[in-house]
Amino acid sequence: MVAIRLRHPQGVATIQVALDRDDFTVQDLQQEIFASTNILPSRQSLKAGYPPHPLTLIPELPLASLGLKTGEQIIVSELPDKSPATRAPTASSIPSRASTLSSGSFAAPAPVSPSVLSPSQSSGPDYVETDGGVLVHRVVPDDNSCLFSAVALVFEQSISKAPEMRQIVAEGIRKEPETYNEAILGMPPSQYINTILKPSTWGGAIELGILASHFRTEIASIDVETGRIDHFSPPADQAGGMRCILIYSGIHYDAATLAPMVDAPGEWHQTVFPVQSSGTSAEEDSVLVAAKKLADILRAKKAFTNTATFDLKCEVCGQGLKGEKDARAHAEQTGHVRFGEY
């Protein structure tokens, strides 16, 4: 058992949790928090890390899915009582497996009907209806490996394959030392490889480019805040004419997949799609149209974080800060590493 520090509306507390036991779940953590704070699990909002970011609470997953460390501080706040129309997704509503169809069996999705946008569901993940099914927001744990989990969900049928995605990135850097040199990586390649293999390290554009090349599939990342689509494409001579969709919130990646119905089993989901448009044009591609509408739903819910502009406060000295850049600079100058959002 290890100690986890809580900061909650009534003060501070310390709880004991089993980070290294698979049978100690997120639900167990929430029960411990309830015992210390009297905040019901259904109304708990938890943040951790640096800068603090929301934790995706999927009760049935092991506690390790949250990426917590010994001595971690969790910021606990209480959500307002939620009506059924705004209830958060539950673990049972989030499919656990991705598509098992072969690449040769994918059919072009039917065009999206613009009149069937779903602004909010009574339960389960957000989605956009199409004439041929629904494009579903597939949430992965917020554990510093979200990019790798989302890609693993798309290509390897399970988020448990996230560490293998890190290995693919490491091997891609080793194979192309001229492309991925110190100037591009910001550090010696060997150091970058050692860093990216750690489960606590976030991934970004470099990793998406390497993974797109490895799987010979374009990765389209849609920014929730702006609706911008960033296309990470394999070399032209390796492209397979397929595309997958990731949803980016500013600090977190999820996937979007197509299913015949929103609560369909994960193995029924189609995770990659024939490219119907190239470059940055989305108007002619029905999947990209649906994905942009899905981003609209999440934007309306404020489900994004602008890391350059969000307001932070140092919880050690109380100094106000603007964005991740200020927080990092303050930490380097003072050694203070506990921050919260205003």
Can you say whether the dihedral through the CA atoms of 70, 163, 200, 125 is positive or negative?
negative
> Cα separation of 281 and 123, whole Å?
33
> Of these residues, 126, 142, 143, 254, which one is catalytic?
143
Q: Which two tokens stand for residue 61?
A: 């997953």
Give catalytic status of residue 143 as yes or no: yes
Angle at the Cα of 154 from the Cα atoms of 118 and 47, rounded to 5 degrees: 70
| Cβ-proximal residues to 104 (8 Å cutoff; 6+ apart), any chain | none
> Cα separation of 294 and 67, whole Å?
27
> Of these residues, 53, 146, 269, 285, which one is catalytic?
146
Give catalytic status of residue 317 as yes or no: no
Long-range contacts of 102-107 (CB under 8 A, 24+ apart): 103/240, 103/242, 103/272, 106/242, 106/270, 106/272, 106/273, 106/274, 107/274
Give catalytic status of residue 252 as yes or no: yes
Give catalytic status of residue 146 as yes or no: yes
135-151 exposure pattern, b = at least 16 Cβ within 10 A, e = fewer: bbbbbbbbbbbbbbbbb
DSSP character at residue 117? B
- Letter for the amino acid at 278? S
Please choose, from the candidates 271, 306, 307, the residue with its C-alpha nearest in 3D space to the C-alpha of residue 291.
271
Contact yes or no for 221/248 (Cβ under 8 A): yes
What pairs with residue 218 in β-bridges?
Answer: 243
> Of these residues, 8, 53, 137, 252, which one is catalytic?
252
By annotation, the residues acting in catalysis are 143, 146, 252, 336
